[in-house]
A and B are shown apart, each in its own frame.
Chain A
């Protein structure tokens, strides 16, 4: 699997299509579909608060995949990476806490 930043030479379309980012894309689709089928489709029997927390965790896991791989933050200046990762963790925790009524704003 190719890393576009380590390889300055031109890639073939095959390399581009079969890169790590394509795997990330497949994972994003899979998570979206599996969580949908597993009963996070509304109207399903599971409607507890734990499921809401899991939904948010899955959402931010997907967000992190997009930020780190698609937006190439893994190769960005360190300060920006710290800001992005920090935002992901803090937002996820704070939103789950508000949802579970552990904190109010």
Chain B
């Protein structure tokens, strides 16, 4: 912003001009200058807009009456500064003209000055909070040699047996394999109620969670499978249970069959641990009514 000698004189007058404190002669001189000087014109417009904003803001705490114009110096102006201005001023996030306006306001407003002091103390306390650090170097355990999906240490242990199945897909792949396992197990074993009609991961595991079948489901998990899957290496119940936390978050990276991700997650967290009844997950009835589930696995009922 280039300020020639003239502008320097005028910039002081601009404020007074807006405050209606100039003589008629001075006023017209300012107006004349502003017509030809873009910098001063901009400054004037910005300040005018800001003052207009200040004027139109609803009053906050102060009970004093607003008297725009700051002409009467015997009464301190009401504090109608936009509420976040003091914070932004403290944070040095205001434009030059805004900052000047707030500075000017602070000169006459004890409430805002007190607020500024409060902000100062509060931020000081926040900054004084100890900076916490990790006890161990978590990054050391991570393995970034793979190009695409990366792996975590625990997941790295599951790599054996399958190169194709990335470890981040472990849980879902494992669950899918478990479902396959159960499906085949049921077919081979004594004729009990078949778990599912259509092969679908979430539903299968959910149905397997009924108490009568729970034991069988648990047993079939982790045993040898007739299918060529390498699920055996991946499915040990204990590991699945341990890895619950990871799976739930890596769910987004998984390949899902027809089921939504969340049901999968909830389901696989149950496999291998106590298979609690989850009445809400049995959504065949819901689907029959045309009610689907939303992304959180909750019934998506449109009102």
The answer to whether A and B interact is: no
Residues of A at the B interface (CB closer than 8 Å) are none
Residues of B at the A interface (CB closer than 8 Å) are none
